Structure formats: C-alpha cells, structure tokens
Amino acid sequence: MPYKVKCFECGREVTDGLLDSCPTCGGLLNVEMDLSPLKGKTLKDIRKAPMGVWRYAPFLPVDQKKAVSLLEGGTPLYRCLGLGEKLGIKDLRVKYEGANPTGSFKDRGMTVGVSRAVELGCKVVGCASTGNTSASLAAYAAKAGLGCVVLLPSGKVALGKLAQAMFYGAKVVSIDGNFDEALDIVRRLAKEGHLYLLNSINPFRPEGQKTVAFEILDQLDMQVPDRIVLPVGNAANIWAVYKALTELRELGWIDRMPRLVGVQASGSNPIFRAFEEGKRDFQPVDHPETVATAIRIGNPASGRKALKAIYDTDGVAVEVTDEEIIAGQKLLGRTEGIGVEPASAASIAGVMKLRQSGEISADERIVCICTGNLLKDPDTVIKNSGEILRSKADIDAVIKIIAR
Ligand code: F0G
C-alpha cells in the first residue's frame, strides 16, 4: 500500500478501514502517503495530466482507475485587481471553489471518499452536514450507485444545499438539533454498522481536499504565496491545505510554507478563541450562531488539527461578524463578479480585517479560498441585495423607474 493510516494523537497504525477514530485513544486518524514514487519528479511530470483533482493522483490514497469522479477541481484562481485596490493589497487572488460540480470544495474530498467506500465494498454512505457535504455526498453516492443518508440541522441548511441533497436521492433526515449533535448521531450510526461515514473525520476526505492547495501552487507556477486564507467550520479543510503544503515541501517542490489564516464567524469561534489564548486545544461553543450556516459549528471535530496547521505555519486565526461577512460577500461580487456563499466570504472579510489591523501588509501575495457558490444560499442573497423595482407593463413607467 502506498500509504498508512495512523492516529493523529498517539501515532498507532490503524488497518481496519471502517474505523474513523483510533481504537486505543479515540484520536482522529490521518493518512500518511508514501511519496517516494514522486522523488526526483517535478511539477512538469504531473502537468501532463489534465487539470483537476486527479492530476494529483500520486498524492492520493485510492486507485485513480477506479475513481468515482464528476471531474471535480480545476477551479479558477482569479487575480482580483479591483478588490485588491479596495483592500490595499497589491496581489490578491481568489480560488473559486464554487465552480466545482456540486458548487463547493467538498467535491474534492468526496471523489476520494466515495471511491474509498466503493473499494471497501460499502453499500450505504452517510454524513452529518451544514449542507454542502450532504449535497456533494448525495451526488457522488448517486454516481456510484450507493445508498445515502444525510443528517441536517433542522431549519439551518441553506436552500440550495437542501435542494441538492433531496434531488440526488439521499434520505434526508432533519435533526432537531445543531450540526454537532447530528455528527454525534451519525458517528454512532457508523459505529453500529448502519453506514460508512463520510464526514471529514474520515481521513480519506482531507486527502482529496489537499488538491486545492496543489492547484493553487500549480496555478502560481510553484511561487509560494505569503498567505492562504480560508473559512474554518469543522476544521478539516485547513488541515488538508496544511498537509498538502507539507508534502510539497517534503518533495522540495516548494521551499517555504505560506502562512495559513483560519477565519471563523464570531458566533461560532472556538478555534479563534483557542488561538487568542495560545492553546493547542479548544473549548466548544455551546450555541453556535451565524449567517454563514456552513460554518455554524461549535465543536469542530478536526479542531486540534486546525490549530496545529495554524501554529506550524506561523499563521493566525481571526473572527469576523455577520455584518463583516455580508459586506465582504457584496464587495467581492460587486467589484469582481465573483459570487460566493457567506461562509466563503468570511475569508474576504478576514483579509479586510487583518489588513486594517496591519497584520497583513500591502505588498503580500494573498490567496483567499472561497469555498462555495453564491446560489447555495439564495435567501441570504435576496435579503441583503436591495429591492426589486416594480413597474406597470408600460415603457414610460419603466423609463421613470430606472431614471430614479
Ligand atoms: N466553507 C463552506 C462553504 C463549507 O460548507 C464548510 C464546511 C466550510 C467552509 C468549512 O470547512 O468544515 O473543513 O472547516 N461545511 C461542512 C458541511 C461542515 O457539512 O458542509 P471545514
């Protein structure tokens, strides 16, 4: 096998593919790839394959030939001159993950995770989700012909995401509780053998999610940005980005690490709080609340991994208010034509804040990962985008209205 699965906490090797935590200490699991087949190779060798997640197959722990794929990845990295000027940053870029098949970065992890489920012979997959994971899993399960169960926090999932999960044929269970409670239940369902768990505590999911960082570096011809900024919810994605960067450094393809910036909503900010106190562990937030429902999570399963990623890259965690998130979302849309959902706009809001405080300087090269598409959450968009102008069906009436 070109990889080992080991406990993140105690280092024990785990060979039972159905486990999602360490049988000794209960810690999270982590895939350790054997990168020796890549030694002596360069980016050029990898680039022979088309853009997308599977260009980076040698970094992934499943066989590409058997991959369940919807051609995920290969998303644009926009140079944002107008937004950069507004924020006072010379080189600002946005990695637009809303361009993935189901409209979020989750597809990168799901192509690998669902391929793993098929490899293990699982028949039913499941997750708890604030929305995007369920939309993605439902689509990949449909493609693979697997049963799919998703547990969603009642009333707190954006409309587009709910529509997707229902549309692709998942069994959608609305839980009278928050994401953290739904995750507890689905972990127990997995333990009792009802389904194969495809939340991001499944160590194969972050492996696919690593590819967003590979792509950013690939698109920048391996010139390392000063910072990569991304929203933090259940906290696996920042870990995945960190892991990708450490692998590139191990191979000598990059010679330094970008600093990672984790952005949380101030109503659900356990990682930010731990960072402020200089701690490597965090206290859960009991009643998380934010307009960015995707990251409305009080007890992030991969929180300890996220803190390691931040500290090891000399990065920072920052919190932003709902007002700052909506302002960032609008500014990105109206200066660059890029539409992202509120959680994704947290990365823009985080950059605004850190530039204002002087933590980020004008001459840095910054990459914001914008994780999900605007249309995931049409209700929030309509609420915050001003009024529709109403008119009689009469040209003179329309002329009067648009002249106002
Ligand atoms: N951005 C979006 C759009 C998300 O949907 C999520 C997580 C995140 C950021 C945060 O990523 O959890 O790895 O720190 N959404 C999960 C879900 C929780 O269920 O869809 P993270």
Q: What is the pLDDT of residues 127-171, one digit of tens each?
A: 999 999 999 999 999 999 999 999 999 999 999 999 999 999 999
Domain assignment of residue 194, yes or no: no
The whole-number pLDDT of residue 33 equals 97
Q: Which DSSP string do the residues of 252-316 spell out, in sequence order?
A: TS-SSPPEEEEEEETTS-HHHHHHHTT-SS-PPPSS---S-GGG--SS-TTHHHHHHHHHHTT-E
Considering the domain architecture, whether residues 298 and 360 belong to the same structural domain is answered as: yes
DSSP-derived letter for residue 62 is S
Tell me: do 92 and 10 sit in the same domain: no
Q: Which tens digits make up the pLDDT trace of 41-69?
A: 998 899 999 999 999 999 999 999 999 99
278 located within any domain: yes
Range of the domain at 349: 77-103+205-383
Same domain, 27 and 98: no
Instruction: Please state the φ and ψ torsions of residue 181, each to the nearest 5 degrees.
Output: -70, -40
pLDDT at residue 317, rounded to an integer: 98
Tell whether 236 and 299 lie within a shared domain.
yes
- Residue 24 sits in the same domain as residue 97: no
- 276 inside domain: yes
Whether 94 and 24 share a structural domain: no
- Cβ burial of 308 (10 Å; 0-12, 13-18, 19+) is middle
Residue 359 forms part of a structural domain: yes
Q: DSSP 3-state helix, strand, coil percentages of the chain (rounded to 5)?
A: 45, 15, 40
Find the CATH number of the domain harbouring 333: 3.40.50.1100
Total structural domains within the chain? 2
Q: Assess whether pLDDT exceeds 80 at residue 87.
A: yes
Asked whether the predicted pLDDT for residue 1 surpasses 70, the reply is: no
| pLDDT beyond 90 at 295 | yes
**Is 150 within a domain?**
no
Mean pLDDT over each residue of the chain, to the nearest integer: 97
Same domain for 27 and 82, yes or no, is no
Residue 258 lies inside a defined structural domain of this protein: yes
User: The tokens of 398 are what?
Assistant: 């329309």
Residue 247 domain-assigned?
Answer: yes
What whole-number percentage of the chain has pLDDT above 70?
100
- Between the CA of 132 and the centroid of ligand 1 the distance, in Å, is 7
Q: Whose CA is nearest to atom 12 of ligand 1?
A: 234
Indicate which residue's Cα is closest to atom 9 of ligand 1.
231
Indicate whether 379 and 305 sit together in one domain: yes
Question: Does residue 139 lie in a domain region?
Answer: no
Amino acid in the structure at residue 138: A
Would you state the torsion angle of the CA atoms of residues 215, 221, 224, 229, taken in this order, to the nearest 10 degrees?
Answer: -30
Q: How far is the CA of 398 from the centre of ligand 1 (A)?
A: 42
H/E stretch holding 245 reads helix 236-250
Are 284 and 347 in a shared domain?
A: yes
SS3 360: coil
How much is the pLDDT for 107? 98
Check: CB of residue 282 under 8 Å from CB of residue 270: yes
CB-CB contact of 376 with 160 (8 Å): yes
Residues lining ligand 1, CB < 6 A? 104, 106, 129-133, 200, 231-237, 294-295, 341, 343-344, 371-372
Shared domain check, 320 and 263: yes
Where in 131-280 does DSSP place strands (E)?
147-153, 171-175, 196-197, 227-231, 259-265
